[in-house]
Amino acid sequence: MEATFPRLLLRHAAQRPDAPALREKEFGIWQTFTWGALAELVRHMACGLAAAGLQRGQHLVVVGENRPRLYAGMLAAQSLGAIPVPLYQDAVAAEFVFPLNNAEVAYAIVEDQEQVDKLLEVRGDCPGLAHIWFDDPRGLRNYKEPGLASIDALVDDGRRHEAQHPQFYLQEVAKAMPGDVAAMFFTSGTTGNPKGVVHTHASLLDRAQAGTRFDKLSAAEEVLAYLPPAWIGQNCFSYAQWLVCGYVVNCPESSSTVSIDLKEIGPTYYFAPPRIFEGLLTSVMIRMEDAGAPKRWLFNRFMDVARRVGPARMDRKPVGALDNLLYALGNVLIYGPLRNTLGLSRVRVAYTAGEAIGPDLFTFYRAIGINLKQLYGSTETAVFVCLQPDHEVKADTVGVPIEGVEIRVDDSGEVLIRSGGLLKEYYKNPQATADVKTAEGWYRSGDAGFLDASGHLKIIDRAKDVGRIRGGGNDGAMFAPKYVENKLKFFPYIKEAVAFGDQREKVCAFINIDFEAVGNWAEKRNLPYAGYTDLAGKPEVYELVRDCVAKVNADLAADERLAGSQVSRFLVLHKELDADDGELTRTRKVRRGYIGEKYAVLVDALYGGKASQYIETQVKFEDGRTGMVSAELRIADAPTHPAVRRAA
């Protein structure tokens, strides 16, 4: 199908102009944009952008939460043959400088005063930035910056331009071809500057259509758009597939109302990275801590049933009559109310992606009747590479290659991909493009994995991160840090983990506690604390974390290949890892190399056998100020186990 995003918009507007396209919650009330109203808004915004000088091939930066008028801005730019570049709304101002200069950006559409302030702050370093339009006018009444105006003013300019050139918009839309560049996404930059991933209409729509056919999606779906639009995962689910299917995308009022909005909307098609599912599970466990003894007993008994029976039922495998009866009773008393509390009672298909999810966490959701599946992809592959078919879901794989995808594993174990969804190039970076795209059209994913006997892809870790234990009884054993970290993060008390061990004689780890979960645990035991640093250093908290580490080690010992990855020593960090401090990417991936360098004194203390180590760290606060956090960190040993030898 020779489609582009603006043509898909016009098709929906022509076929069902009064059907809802987008909803936005404002002041507690859901406001609806129909396809007809959205098409009119996009037309006027496109004409306004053209009047301001935006031309084919130029870039338009978009910064903010999911907002209908920001989506309209992206469509308006694409209508003119310009290229929208969504950036992370929680990035600090300095993080905008590289993408703005790299893409030679002169035009920006942003959500509110916060984003306006950040762009104005870096304007001196980005001299090309001439025009900034904002959606929310609150706090901006007295701003008199050149080139700064509201989206309302942009729309008014567009109406005047359209009156003078009535055929202009449709003529511009007709010029676009599927092979034209449609969008650019900057990678999260775990090492050095981010790279601009260039995608065409054809590459994004090819994968959106393949994913739609795979899960039989329709215009009847309801989707909640609450993750950063700059993350290609959110962009595919709430933009590319939205325009392919014509379903309704719902934009929450704010990040703090997402859980409420989730329950009100009851999405049928849901997407979240593992950290969101970890957070939902943590909230459940905190509530159960607060419950009375009878409720806790009932919850634990029926969750035992769910773990034993639920995944098999989801995969339509035979289950005994008694287990079926117990599960049905549990569904009435526990699982149904729990799904409703989480806002997932109407979910038909739920996906997790972005990084590996712990198998125990994954199994929990399927056990209570939520059709949670895994998918595999990346910014460079337009997300949809492997998906798990209904009733063929495995906790330790990421699914099968879907329509239009070829996969092979090279001699080093790296996964190579070929599909219609591959990036066109890295912007202004031909060397990086050549490094990941072979002459035969294969994309080097950088992931280590293999296809199992049933054709499912199993990802072990990032190829560059898979290492070996050296010395001691585990000499030569495989070390997969992300696998270890995900097993640790299953526990509600552990928010982040960073494992070290490559080319060392044992594995050691940094732990971030979940302040809310551990704080609740401490209050139940009348354990006083003065803040995160104080709570993290409590001996009782160390014992709590040690118990979690011990359970992970017992699980690892049962896997002969990974038994050498058991955590021998650990410490609980004195601060939470933070993207503003450079320790996480904006998609909350751990920057392990950077953390290892920043906290080298702690790594040395872990491997040097020390019982404690003093550390002083600079942190950045939300208002831009900096300060220091210091502590004497305890270092604890964890019990390890010999590998369990399996019978031949």
Q: What percent of the chain has pLDDT over 70?
A: 97
Whether residue 340 is predicted with pLDDT greater than 90 in this model: the reply is yes
Q: Taking 60 as the threshold, does the pLDDT of residue 456 lie above it? A: yes
Per-residue pLDDT of 101-119, as tens digits, reads 999 999 999 999 999 999 9
Under a CB-based contact definition with an 8 Å cutoff, are residues 201 and 209 in contact? Answer: no
Handedness of CA 131, 136, 139, 141 (dihedral sign): positive
Question: How does residue 647 score in pLDDT terms, banded at 50, 70 and 90?
Answer: very low
Does the structure show a pLDDT above 90 at 475? no
Does the pLDDT at position 624 exceed 80? no
- pLDDT band for 644, please (50, 70, 90 cuts): confident
Domains and CATH numbers, the chain: 5-176+215-253 (3.40.50.12780), 468-637 (3.30.300.30)
* pLDDT tens digit sequence for 158-213: 999 999 999 999 999 999 999 999 999 998 755 568 999 999 999 999 999 999 99
Asked which of 376-385, 435-444, 452-461, 538-547 is least confident by mean pLDDT, the reply is 452-461
Confidence of residue 646 (pLDDT cuts 50, 70, 90): low
pTM strictly above 0.75? yes
Sheet of strand 107-110, all strands in order from the earlier edge strand to the far edge: 83-87, 59-63, 107-110, 131-134, 148-150
Mode of pairing for the β-strands spanning 269-272 and 349-352: parallel
Q: What is the mean pLDDT of residues 138-145?
A: 94
Cα distance between the two ends of the chain: 53
Q: What is the spatial distance between Cα 51 and Cα 84, in angstroms, rounded to a whole number?
A: 17
As beta bridge partners, residue 497 has 511
For the segment 488-525, what is each residue's pLDDT rounded down to a tens digit?
A: 987 889 999 999 999 899 999 999 999 998 999 999 89
